[in-house]
Structure 1
Amino acid sequence: MDARAIIAQLRDGGSLSADELTWVARGLASGEVTDAQAGAFAMAVLLNGIGNDGRVALTEAMRDSGDVLSWDLPGPVIDKHSTGGVGDCTSLILAPALAACGAYVPMISGRGLGHTGGTLDKLEAIPGVQTEVSEDRFRQIVADVGCAIVSASADVAPADKRLYAIRDITGTVESIDLITASILSKKLAAGLEGLVLDVKTGSGAFMESLEAAEKLAQALVTTANGAGCPTTALVTDMSQPLAPSAGNAVEVADCMKALSGDVDTPLAELTCALGGELLAAGRLATDAEAGGGAIRATLTDGRAMERFDQMIAALGGPTAISEVWQDVLPKAAVTVDVPAQSGGQIAAIDTKALGLAVVHLGGGRLKGGDVIDPSVGLSNIARIGAQVDEGVPLAQIYAANDDQANAAAKAVSAAFSFADDPEIPPLIYKRVSA
C-alpha cells in the first residue's frame, strides 16, 4: 500500500478499509509512515472523519501494533479510564475496591497532561513506590493482589505513541476519532473483559461542553464494544474539583480517608458508581446499583484498604501505608489560606485555573522532563453552592516557598465567582451504553 494514496483518498472524502487502517498503524509503529505523512493523515481524519467502522479498525490496529496481554485468572479482568480532570483520584480507590470484590484490575495509567493530574504522579507521591515494572512483575502483582497501577511499557500501542506526539504539534488533538482510538488502543492492550469510561465535562475538562462530552462518550462506548470489550460510560461533572484537594500527596491523603471509610463525599460516590458499572459488567453484581453497594462496603469494612496496602508494598512502598501515610507523605514548606474577598454563595469555579495553579506550584509539568514536587497543591477547596463570608478560606495552598504561594493565591482567588442561588451541577449527567 501507499501512504500518499491512503491520505489522498481520505482527504477527498473517501472511506478507508480495515486493511488500509491496519497498514497505517503498522507504518506508524515501524517508521514506514513518515512524520509528514502521519501529520497529513491526522489532519484528514480531523477534517473528514473515518466513521464508526473506521474507528473500530484503527483502534484494533493501534492496539495490535504492540504487545497485547492475555490473562488466565479466576475472575473478570476489568478497568476504568477517565478523560482527565482536577482532583480526580478515583483510580487509587477503585482498583483495590474492585480487587476486594473478586475482580482483577491491570490498570495501565498515565501522568499529568496539561492542567490535569496524573494517576502515576499521585501514586509516586508515596515514598518508594515504583510504577515502572516488568511485564512479569505486573502479572504477578495482579494475580497476587488483584490490582496493580503501573505505567505503560514502550511495547504497548507504539503506533499510538507516535501518532499522539505528532497530533500534539499539528493541531489535530481535538479529533474525536483519534482521541477514541488513542484512549482505547492503550486500554484494550491490557486484555480487558470489561471497561467503564469516566468522561468529564465542565470548566476543568478537556471536553468543556456537555454536548462534546456526550459525543465523545458515545464514540468511546461504540468503538470499545465494536472491538469486543463490553463498555459503558458515565458523563460526569468537572465544573469543580472532584476531591477537596488538587495535587499529588494531598490527593493521596483524600484517597486514604475514603479507603478508611469516609464515603459521604463526591469522590467516594463517583468511585462507587464507576465500580458498580464494572462489577455488573464482570458479573460480580446483579446490576450497577448492587455493584456500587458492594464497592461501598469494601471501603467501610477495610477490605479495600487491605488490598491497597498490599499493592503499595508490592510496588516498593511502605508495608502498611494505611498505618503510616500521615507520617510518610511529603509535606510542603509553606501553607497559606486563600480568603474570600467578599461574601456570598459560590456560583462557579474556573477549575482549569485551579489545575494550572497546581502545575505552576510544581505539582505538574510545564515542559517535558520537569521534576514534580509531590508535596505542593491545594486542599479544602470550597464547592459550588457553599455560602462563605468575607475572609473565610476558599482553599488552602501548599507551596515550596512564599513567592509561589502568593502567586497561587492570586490565581485561586480569581477562579471563584459568586451569585445568589447558583445552580448546583449534578455529579453524574448521563450513562452511555452500547
Structure 2
Amino acid sequence: MSSISVPGGEDVFQFRIADVIAKKRDGLALSEQEIRHVVKATMTGQAQDSQLGALLMAVRLQGMNPEETLTLTREMVASGCVLKWPEEWSALLVDKHSTGGVGDKVSLALAPALAACGCKVPMISGRGLGHTGGTLDKLESVPSFSSQQNPEQMLEILNSVGCCIVGQSKNLVPADKIFYEMRDVTATVDSLPLITASIMSKKVAESLSALILDVKFGEAAQSSTIEEAKHLAHSLVNVGVSLGIPTIALITNMDTPIGRCVGNSLEVIEALQCLEGQGPDDLRDLVLHTGGYLLWLCGRAGSEKQGAEKIAKVLSDGSALQCFRKMLEAQGVKPDIARSLSSSTKLGETSHIEELKVPKTGTVELIRARPIAEVLNALGAGRNKATDVINHSVGAQLLVRVGQHVEEGSPWIRIHYEKPLLQDRQRQTLQNALSISAQPAFIPASLIRDVIYAQCKKEEYGASVRREREIS
C-alpha cells in the first residue's frame, strides 16, 4: 500500500492500485487523487505492468468522463518538465497535431510558413508506425538532419529561425511514453480518453499560445467515420481549452493520399514544391487553412481568411522556404545542402522504379490510401515496431488524380523500391487501390469537412480563450 497527500495537506488518503482498477472496471469515475496516484505509481515503478495493463483495459472498456480525462492529461504533464519561453513570445507560440495519415507532409510546409509570419513553432513530432507516416522520418531523409534537440537548443533555434521540428525528449511527459508502450501491447491504443491525454499532454507541456488539430477520418485514418472523428475532436479541443490553450480541430478526409507522393524522401520534395508556391492543390489547401486558423487563434490575423492570405504570401515570396532551409541548417544539415535544397533535389534513389498501368478507360473515382501505404510499408518505407529500420527512398508517386479521365494502359502510379522486390500479389493490391468509373467523379472542394470549436461562439472564440488564459 502507498499513500499520497491531497493538495492542502489536510488529509492523507490511502490507495491500492487494485482498488483503483476495480473501481474503473465497475464503471465508476476515478477521483483526481486516484488518477494522480496511478501516474505517480507508474513513474516510480510501484505499479506493476500487469496492473497498469489491467487499468488501461478497464479505461478502454468503461471510458472516462471529461473531468477524468482532463485530470489524466494534467497529471501526465506534471510527470516531467514543461517548456519555458521568453515572456515576449507569450502570444506567438503555436503548433499543430495530426492524428496520422498517408502522404501527410503538411507540417513540413506549415511550420516554416508560420515562422515566416512571425510565430514561434516548437513542433514536437513523432515517427511513423504501421501504415501512417511520421514527420521525423520524412525530415531524416535529408542528410544529417537531427531531430534530437534539448530545450536549450530548441530555444536557440526558435530565437534565430522561428521554428523547429523535433522528437519528444525523455523529460517531456515521460508518463506518456510508459502509458503508450503499454497501450501498444494491450490493444488499448484506440481508447478515446487515452488518446486525448497522450496528444494533449505533450502539447500542454510545450506552453503554447494556440493549437490546431487535424483529426482525420476514413479508411486510412484512426477514426473510420466522421462521427468518430468529431467525437475525438471534441474531446481534444475541450481539454486544450480547459487547460488554457486556444484550440480548434479540423475534420479532414483520409481516404486518398494527400498530394501526389507517399514515402519519406518523396514527401520532402513535394513539401518543397509547396514551399515554392506550387505543389498539389489539396496539400496547399490544408497548409493555407491550417495556418490561417492558427494565425487567427493567436491574434496575428483578424480572421481565418486573412490568416490564410498571409500564409499564401510567405509561400509565394520565398520567405517560408528560407525559414525551412534555416531550420534544417540549425538542426544539423550542412549549410550547402540546406541552402540549395529545392523540389528539383534528389534525396536518395532506388535501384528499382516500376510503373503500373490503368486497367480500363474511364474517370478516376478513388485512389485508396491504405493499401498503397501498406505495400510501401512492406517494401521498407515504414515500420511495424519501433525498432525497425526504414528505407527513406522507398515510396510512390501518383501520376493521376481523382476526377481525371484516364486511358487504358496509361501509367497511374510509379513505385520506387529496393529489396524486398515488389511481388505480384502486391502489384494486384496496388491495382485494386485504383477505382475507375464510367461516370464523372465527384471531387470535394476541400479535404476539410468540418471545424470543431469549444462551446462558445466562433467570433468570440480566440479572444475569449486568450482572456481565460491571461486570467488563470
Instruction: Please say whether Structure 1 and Structure 2 have the same fold, judged by a TM-score greater than 0.5.
Output: yes
Matched, 1:92 2:112: no
Out of 411, 429, 433, the position equivalent to 2:449 is: 429
Preserved contact between residue 111 and residue 117 of structure 1 (Cα < 8 Å): yes
Q: CA deviation at 1:379?
A: 0.9
Identity of aligned residues (%): 39
Matched, 1:323 2:340: yes
Out of 54, 60, 66, the position equivalent to 1:40 is: 54
Paired residue secondary structure (1:277)? helix
> Structure 1: which 5+ residue stretches go unaligned?
none
Whichever residue aligns with residue 14 of structure 1, its letter is: L
Whichever residue aligns with residue 357 of structure 1, its letter is: V
Paired residue secondary structure (1:309)? helix
* Residue of structure 2 in register with 1:155 after alignment: 171
Instruction: Find the aligned partners of 2:448 and 2:78 in 1 and give their Cα distance.
Output: 33
Instruction: Find the aligned partners of 2:349 and 2:40 in 1 and give their Cα distance.
Output: 46
Preserved contact between residue 68 and residue 189 of structure 1 (Cα < 8 Å): yes
CA RMSD of aligned residues (A): 1.7
Q: CA deviation at 1:174?
A: 1.5
Out of 227, 235, 239, the position equivalent to 2:251 is: 235
* Residue of structure 2 in register with 1:333 after alignment: 351
Structure 1 residues 33-432: aligned runs within 5 Å: 33-72=47-86, 74-75=88-89, 76-262=92-278, 265-319=281-335, 321=338, 323-325=340-342, 326-327=344-345, 329-401=347-419, 403-404=421-422, 408-419=426-437, 420-425=439-444, 426-432=446-452
Q: CA deviation at 1:148?
A: 0.3
> What do the CA deviations read for 1:8-38 (whole angstroms, capped 9, x no partner)?
1111121112222122122222222211111
Instruction: Find the aligned partners of 1:19 and 1:190 in 2 and give their Cα distance.
Output: 25
Whichever residue aligns with residue 81 of structure 2, its letter is: D
Preserved contact between residue 77 and residue 205 of structure 2 (Cα < 8 Å): yes
Q: CA deviation at 1:261?
A: 1.1
Whichever residue aligns with residue 24 of structure 1, its letter is: V
Q: CA deviation at 1:241?
A: 0.6
Instruction: Find the aligned partners of 2:423 and 2:330 in 1 and give their Cα distance.
Output: 35
Larger mean CA deviation between 270-279 and 7-16 belongs to 7-16
Preserved contact between residue 245 and residue 381 of structure 1 (Cα < 8 Å): no
> What do the CA deviations read for 1:81-119 (whole angstroms, capped 9, x no partner)?
000000000101000000011100001100002100000
Preserved contact between residue 29 and residue 159 of structure 1 (Cα < 8 Å): yes
Whichever residue aligns with residue 345 of structure 1, its letter is: T
Whichever residue aligns with residue 68 of structure 1, its letter is: V
Q: CA deviation at 1:407?
A: 5.9
Larger Rg computed on CA atoms = 2
Preserved contact between residue 397 and residue 408 of structure 1 (Cα < 8 Å): no
Whichever residue aligns with residue 160 of structure 1, its letter is: D
Preserved contact between residue 127 and residue 328 of structure 1 (Cα < 8 Å): no
Q: CA deviation at 1:318?
A: 3.4
> What do the CA deviations read for 1:301-323 (whole angstroms, capped 9, x no partner)?
01101100100001111325352
> What do the CA deviations read for 1:351-397 (whole angstroms, capped 9, x no partner)?
11111122112111133322111111001353322221111222111
Cα 1:306–1:407 shift into 2, 3 Å? farther
> What do the CA deviations read for 1:142-181 (whole angstroms, capped 9, x no partner)?
1211000011111111111111111111121121111111
* Residue of structure 1 in register with 2:32 after alignment: 18
Paired residue secondary structure (2:422)? helix
Whichever residue aligns with residue 323 of structure 1, its letter is: S
Whichever residue aligns with residue 6 of structure 1, its letter is: V
Instruction: Find the aligned partners of 1:393 and 1:67 in 2 and give their Cα distance.
Output: 52
Whichever residue aligns with residue 403 of structure 1, its letter is: L
Whichever residue aligns with residue 386 of structure 1, its letter is: Q
Preserved contact between residue 270 and residue 279 of structure 2 (Cα < 8 Å): no
Paired residue secondary structure (1:80)? strand
Preserved contact between residue 99 and residue 307 of structure 1 (Cα < 8 Å): yes
Q: CA deviation at 1:349?
A: 2.9
Paired residue secondary structure (2:82)? coil
Moved over 4 A (4+): 405-408
Preserved contact between residue 325 and residue 341 of structure 2 (Cα < 8 Å): no
Instruction: Find the aligned partners of 2:399 and 2:426 in 1 and give their Cα distance.
Output: 13
Paired residue secondary structure (1:403)? coil
TM-score normalized by structure 1?
0.96
Preserved contact between residue 379 and residue 421 of structure 2 (Cα < 8 Å): no
Larger mean CA deviation between 265-274 and 311-320 belongs to 311-320
Instruction: Find the aligned partners of 1:25 and 1:289 in 2 and give their Cα distance.
Output: 42
Whichever residue aligns with residue 294 of structure 1, its letter is: K
Q: CA deviation at 1:47?
A: 1.6
TM-score normalized by structure 2?
0.88
> Structure 2: which 5+ residue stretches go unaligned?
1-14, 455-472
Preserved contact between residue 131 and residue 151 of structure 1 (Cα < 8 Å): yes
Larger mean CA deviation between 4-13 and 117-126 belongs to 4-13
Preserved contact between residue 260 and residue 280 of structure 2 (Cα < 8 Å): no
Preserved contact between residue 259 and residue 305 of structure 1 (Cα < 8 Å): yes
